[in-house]
Amino acid sequence: MRRAKQDAQPIDRGIKGESFRMFDVQAFQTGALAFLVAFGASLLFLIAFQFVYQATTPHNERKLIRDGNTAAAIVLGGAVVGYALPIAQSMSQAHSLAEFAAWAVLAGIIQILTFLVVRRIVVADVTTRVERGEVPIAIYLAAVSIAVGLLNAASMTE
């Protein structure tokens, strides 16, 4: 290890002779704080989405899942994953917490509207079928939620 100047950060030589800076504690602390804020905000939006989503569905996912209904777990899991995809995308490109929040709200609205459209137009008896534990309809709903989440994430632009 050598120092070019007294106040410069140490430079180390790698195996092939490339130089790189040593670990910068101050930069890590700043980055870690930003990470914790971003991760915390993402978790809060994910939890809020789950509650809002469950409030918009006519069936009680929490009770159904507690009672062992696999179909309800698949549907809710697909919706959560479908929402997490655009949340991750918006977090990686948002320039502020307010911008992230705007994208997160829009992504949640799109996910909930997707479920409502599928329920009213594509598969009218979805609630009854989920309550009966029908796995095929659950897989279909989860797949739609994830697909919409992927499209939602890919559509986000700076």
In SS3 terms, the chain reads as CECCCCCCCCEEECCCCCEEECCCHHHHHHHHHHHHHHHHHHHHHHHHHHHHHHHHCCCCHHHHHHCCCHHHHHHHHHHHHHHHHHHHHHHHHCCCHHHHHHHHHHHHHHHHHHHHHHHHHHCCCHHHHHHCCCHHHHHHHHHHHHHHHHHHHHHCCC
What local confidence, expressed as pLDDT, does residue 86 receive? Answer: 93
Quick one: pLDDT at residue 4? 46
Note the pLDDT of residue 16: 62
pLDDT of residue 151: 94
pLDDT in tens, the chain (158 residues): 334 445 555 555 556 656 556 777 777 778 888 889 889 999 999 999 999 999 998 889 999 999 999 999 999 999 999 999 999 998 888 888 899 999 999 999 999 999 889 888 888 888 899 999 999 999 999 999 999 999 999 998 76
pLDDT at 52: 94
Sign of the alpha-carbon torsion through 71, 76, 77, 81: positive
Torsion angle in degrees (nearest 10) through CA of 61, 66, 70, 75: 20
Residue 80 structure tokens = 């959560």
